């Protein structure tokens, strides 16, 4: 075990632990990226061709006590729903990929590298974009799903998921900014020595 070897400094043991944990998290994020892509493609396929509903995790648009299966929504509205789904899915995929790349850099021991900080900032920005998309998602989806009905709906409510992505995305973005500044200070210090 690395912990019991007296010839290895403590900082090397801690760095090795971070690298091992980062390798695991890199692969979890890789699987998450693939899963988000497959699930998003399945939902888009079920929206465009409702008979493909066995490919999707969800086969209807629902809000609280109102639900409408994809097959009952006219094609033009389903295309609008599919197009509107894409930025939200793309932002989640981008965040998962940015975290995957970040953990890959940590696995390589690039902790205070400016490029590492850029990937952390990219993850934060993607999470912020997803939070904003999630915030406007309910009103837009409710309007698109009920456009052809007389009563037409326009729902707006915040369920907490939006706030989580907005706050967590801002926090990750700020941490990335701090890491970038720390990395640039470290590079300046190295150039003086």
Q: What is the pLDDT of residues 53-66, one digit of tens each?
A: 666 666 777 777 77
Range of the domain at 55: 2-192
The alpha carbon dihedral of 86, 87, 88, 94 has a sign of: positive
pLDDT given at position 1: 43
Number of C-alpha atoms within 13 angstroms, CB side, residue 50? Answer: 14
Q: Mean per-residue pLDDT for 131-137?
A: 90
Q: For the chain, what is the domain count?
A: 1
The stretches of 49-74 forming alpha helices (DSSP H) are none
pLDDT in tens, 87-106: 999 999 999 999 999 999 99
**What percentage of the chain has pLDDT greater than the value 70?**
89
Q: Which of 82, 27, 22, 21 is nearest to 49 (CA)?
A: 82
The pLDDT of residue 2: 45
């Amino acid at each position: 075990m690395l912990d019991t070897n007296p010839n290895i400094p403590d900082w090397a043991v801690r760095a090795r632990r971070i690298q091992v944990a980062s390798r695991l998290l890199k692969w979890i994020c890789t699987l998450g990226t693939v899963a988000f892509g497959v699930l998003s493609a399945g939902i888009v396929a079920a929206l465009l061709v409702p008979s493909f509903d066995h490919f999707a995790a969800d086969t209807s648009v629902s809000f609280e006590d109102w639900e409408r299966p994809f097959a009952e929504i006219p094609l033009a509205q389903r295309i609008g729903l599919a197009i509107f789904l894409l930025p939200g899915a793309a932002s989640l995929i981008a965040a998962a990929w940015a975290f995957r790349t970040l953990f890959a850099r940590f696995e390589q021991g690039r902790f205070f590298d400016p490029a590492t900080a850029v990937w952390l900032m990219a993850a934060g920005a993607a999470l912020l974009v997803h939070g904003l998309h999630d915030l406007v998602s309910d009103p837009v989806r409710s309007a698109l799903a009920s456009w052809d009905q007389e009563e037409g709906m326009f729902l707006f409510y915040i369920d907490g998921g939006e706030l989580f992505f907005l706050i967590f995305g801002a926090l990750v973005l700020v941490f990335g900014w701090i890491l970038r500044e720390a990395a640039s200070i470290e590079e300046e210090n190295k150039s003086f020595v």
